[in-house]
Structure 1
């Protein structure tokens, strides 16, 4: 029988969730949904100095805002932190006894040892290594202390940490689901700290203990944790625990092909929600490393992404964050939205009929959510302000000619029956045919017509605007344009 798929997203509450973290959460979510497994949120707050007040709540709210629903983990219930699931606690600072038990077991089995070296001694060693051009790392001073001596010093309350006794020879091999076979020679690995002097674990011990306790089947995490893999594998083997499968995600790179930074748009993920739809952002970051191997780029929802998602289709090389690609996908998502839902989202306060009539005009040009109100404000106001000069086509200098053309348009529109305004295609064809019959050019007639309706140098075409405004408002605006001369 195939074991259950269980994955986790395990951020630290050190601030807002950024794009890289959101992508890690998304890939875990997609993998779980594709394989009918469980997606777990776990908070890794063992570095108490870096944890910020409200950090856990911020992570939960961000995942909720993007619709990444997890099956187990911390939740907000009536504004307070709670939990759901049977494998908790899901916050590491509440699991200290499990890490201390694991550390004691490793020491008893001679896979770990107490280290009594002071901060000053460690700093002196590091300085000497730098002077001799040696790789920095612990020199193993306490590694071979007699067990009886170590136990006695611990018993007396001497300050110490627990280090893992990394083998000095051989290598650790692993099969990464994205990178294939990877190997790490032990000669380059130091005896890592597992338990700090304050009783808190390091990431390495807590990570392995929790993944085992929560029956995690696949560890999908950022490439930056790849150097930690040999230590984690050694810990699993020392504790005689079954190992999960590992997948290390490629970096997200800025335009300069270096790791994405705040300068390169790596701001808080929630900040993107001001201008971009949640599903557009998820669509975009899903493609930062994952290639569905088809021509499809537009995925309306995370559920659509999950249907195609495959870890084997994630590239090893870093993915470049291109804002223009996000804008491109956001435009598609905007156009696919229900106009009524979209109008409510951007706070337009339109009736359902107005949504159906006005939103399509905004979406012709809108790239971001913030563009939508600006794109249709001219339709919603009774007064549009613009200068007479804007009515003048570039190739016409005669104000009299422009006024006459606007008057001709007004008189023609006045005679068009109301029913002809209901079909934009027919309406457009009627006007274009009439312009031709007047021996006029489209440029000299349509420019002042469009400006009179919009008051803008750039806007949707006059046919769309006129149909959206209706006959009465269209005639009123053309009359005001004529009155400017």
Structure 2
């Protein structure tokens, strides 16, 4: 295996939607591959037929593409060492399992589930734990204890069996992990893991090792939940006389409170997504309004950082700076508010045109007042660009533009009762009528001119800004909210501004 020719794989099981923990694993594999001018491979590990979910593989592919980390090789794409679905490689695994048996490194086991359960119960009564390995395998129902005649008879009868790995005893193996460092394991505590199941399918352990070898995987970057399997995998590489890849086991993504692995239930409880795309009744990050580059940025720093204060990174910067050996050992706490902060930062970086185009599908275009853009704008899009430029500083998501600025799209029909009661005095209507007459005569209805004329009029009449500005905002917006008031009036135009002021004078 050429470790200089970097080949990494993301190998999910199609048993449901892709969790963001799995998505981060894919990200780290992608960044490492691209940094080293290597290949990022997608392999679908669908050997567990009972847990297979229709549509899950397509979901995984769509998620990677949406996030901007497409695979280089995988199902239907650059199939250099395919097929890339383990269910299509079934006969291959059988050959390798039989090879281990022929070399005395694996064996047939005919123990029934009932007999093994009885062994476990007997051990529990004695305060012990049952482990199928060196200390009892020659007392159990397997090809190590049966004669060749007995084995042949069982095969003739079609008795179900599994193939177990013959784990060597009395050895201490030293393992190396890019993140965890050196790890020592006593083989006496390991069990003889099943490599081939009675349903004719390989277990993860055998299929994983065979595929990684045949696909020339140089580095295995996966979640820490596979750490207990690392010793077995090293022993399997040794049994086949193959060079093992370099391993790196990533830390867990923890619940927002910091204890335990992040789950779908945490998202439901906290009101935040845990999947990249919609899955049945669970909303995804895409549909919740997150930009893919903001989620990529956040997840990349969830367990790793370049050691600086910088927080915003482009994909190209992440590829350059990412260091797998600098990934933290400890779990990383997921922060839903931080994901929103990232989205806000990326929203600010986008042009008003980009945001306006994103806003169009969310907005009912008939709500855009034709009066305003007939006078000042050449298109609805131009009007939307002006609106989002005023609102983007306060927005976290594109969908926020409607809640923040619905008054840009229709004349207020109601007025905030609390604000009106506090700010609209008995003297307000006569004063705003005077201001109405002043604004009506303006030929230049730009924000700067409206502001200048209004402030001069307030000063000349010895009025306070508190007497005029809040009620004027109520008349235009319907509430005491929104960006610079004169920018709003400039945007909706003279006719609409005067119309709103006139309606408020009549209603209030």
Normalising by structure 2, we get a TM-score of: 0.86
Q: In structure 1, what is the Cα distance between the partners aligned to 2:451 and 2:131?
A: 76
Q: In structure 1, what is the Cα distance between the partners aligned to 2:44 and 2:452?
A: 62
Q: In structure 1, what is the Cα distance between the partners aligned to 2:8 and 2:108?
A: 33
Which of residues 333, 344, 361 in structure 2 aligns to 1:320? 333
Q: In structure 2, what is the Cα distance between the partners aligned to 1:9 and 1:388?
A: 53
Query: For structure 1, which segment, 192-201 or 474-483, has the greater mean C-alpha deviation from structure 2 after superposition?
Result: 474-483
**In the TM superposition, what is the alpha-carbon distance from 1:71 to its structure 2 partner?**
0.5
Query: For structure 1, which segment, 371-380 or 209-218, has the greater mean C-alpha deviation from structure 2 after superposition?
Result: 371-380
Matches within 5 A, 1:268-307: 268-270=275-277, 271-275=284-288, 276-299=290-313, 301-307=314-320
Which residue is 2:144 aligned to?
144
Is 1:354 matched up with 2:383?
yes
Contact 1:143 1:165 (8 Å CA) reproduced: no
Q: In structure 2, what is the Cα distance between the partners aligned to 1:294 and 1:430?
A: 49
Instruction: Write the deviation string for residues 428-451 of structure 1: whole angstroms up to 9, x where unpaired.
Output: 566456544543333332222222
Query: For structure 1, which segment, 44-53 or 177-186, has the greater mean C-alpha deviation from structure 2 after superposition?
Result: 177-186
Is 1:126 matched up with 2:127?
no
Change (3 A) 1:171 1:444: farther
Secondary structure of 2:285's partner? helix
Which residue is 1:225 aligned to?
226
Which residue is 2:369 aligned to?
none
Matches within 5 A, 1:84-233: 84-138=78-132, 139-140=136-137, 141=140, 142=142, 144-145=144-145, 148=148, 152-153=152-153, 155-156=155-156, 157-233=158-234
Matches within 5 A, 1:424-463: 428=451, 431-432=454-455, 434-463=457-486
Instruction: Write the deviation string for residues 236-266 of structure 1: whole angstroms up to 9, x where unpaired.
Output: 1111111111111111111232111223226
**In the TM superposition, what is the alpha-carbon distance from 1:143 to its structure 2 partner?**
7.0
Which residue is 1:78 aligned to?
none
Q: In structure 2, what is the Cα distance between the partners aligned to 1:331 and 1:46?
A: 41
**In the TM superposition, what is the alpha-carbon distance from 1:209 to its structure 2 partner?**
0.7
Which residue is 1:48 aligned to?
49
**In the TM superposition, what is the alpha-carbon distance from 1:478 to its structure 2 partner?**
1.9
Change (3 A) 1:72 1:388: closer
Is 1:406 matched up with 2:432?
yes
Is 1:261 matched up with 2:238?
no
Contact 1:114 1:150 (8 Å CA) reproduced: no
**In the TM superposition, what is the alpha-carbon distance from 1:126 to its structure 2 partner?**
1.9
Query: For structure 1, which segment, 228-237 or 62-71, has the greater mean C-alpha deviation from structure 2 after superposition?
Result: 62-71
Which residue is 1:77 aligned to?
none
Which of residues 483, 487, 497 in structure 2 aligns to 1:464? 487
Change (3 A) 1:407 1:31: farther
**In the TM superposition, what is the alpha-carbon distance from 1:312 to its structure 2 partner?**
2.2
**In the TM superposition, what is the alpha-carbon distance from 1:427 to its structure 2 partner?**
5.8
Q: In structure 1, what is the Cα distance between the partners aligned to 2:237 and 2:327?
A: 26
Secondary structure of 1:183's partner? strand
Contact 1:171 1:183 (8 Å CA) reproduced: yes
Change (3 A) 1:427 1:4: farther
RMSD: 2.4
Contact 1:250 1:318 (8 Å CA) reproduced: yes
Matches within 5 A, 1:357-436: 357-381=386-410, 383-387=411-415, 389=417, 392=420, 394=422, 396=423, 398=425, 400-418=426-444, 420-421=446-447, 428=451, 431-432=454-455, 434-436=457-459
Change (3 A) 1:420 1:268: closer
- Structure 1 gaps of 5+ residues are 75-81
Secondary structure of 2:49's partner? coil
Change (3 A) 1:172 1:332: same
Instruction: Write the deviation string for residues 112-133 of structure 1: whole angstroms up to 9, x where unpaired.
Output: 1111111111111222233333
Q: In structure 1, what is the Cα distance between the partners aligned to 2:473 and 2:123?
A: 74
Secondary structure of 1:367's partner? coil
Matches within 5 A, 1:52-91: 52-74=53-75, 82-91=76-85
**In the TM superposition, what is the alpha-carbon distance from 1:111 to its structure 2 partner?**
1.3
Normalising by structure 1, we get a TM-score of: 0.90
Query: For structure 1, which segment, 88-97 or 108-117, has the greater mean C-alpha deviation from structure 2 after superposition?
Result: 108-117
Q: In structure 2, what is the Cα distance between the partners aligned to 1:113 and 1:150?
A: 14
Q: In structure 1, what is the Cα distance between the partners aligned to 2:435 and 2:329?
A: 61
Q: How many residue pairs end up in the alignment?
A: 471
Secondary structure of 2:239's partner? helix
Q: In structure 2, what is the Cα distance between the partners aligned to 1:432 and 1:173?
A: 78
**In the TM superposition, what is the alpha-carbon distance from 1:6 to its structure 2 partner?**
0.8
Instruction: Write the deviation string for residues 127-185 of structure 1: whole angstroms up to 9, x where unpaired.
Output: 22333332343242237326746753564343211111112222222221111112222
Query: For structure 1, which segment, 178-187 or 47-56, has the greater mean C-alpha deviation from structure 2 after superposition?
Result: 178-187
Is 1:333 matched up with 2:346?
yes
Q: In structure 1, what is the Cα distance between the partners aligned to 2:381 and 2:416?
A: 35
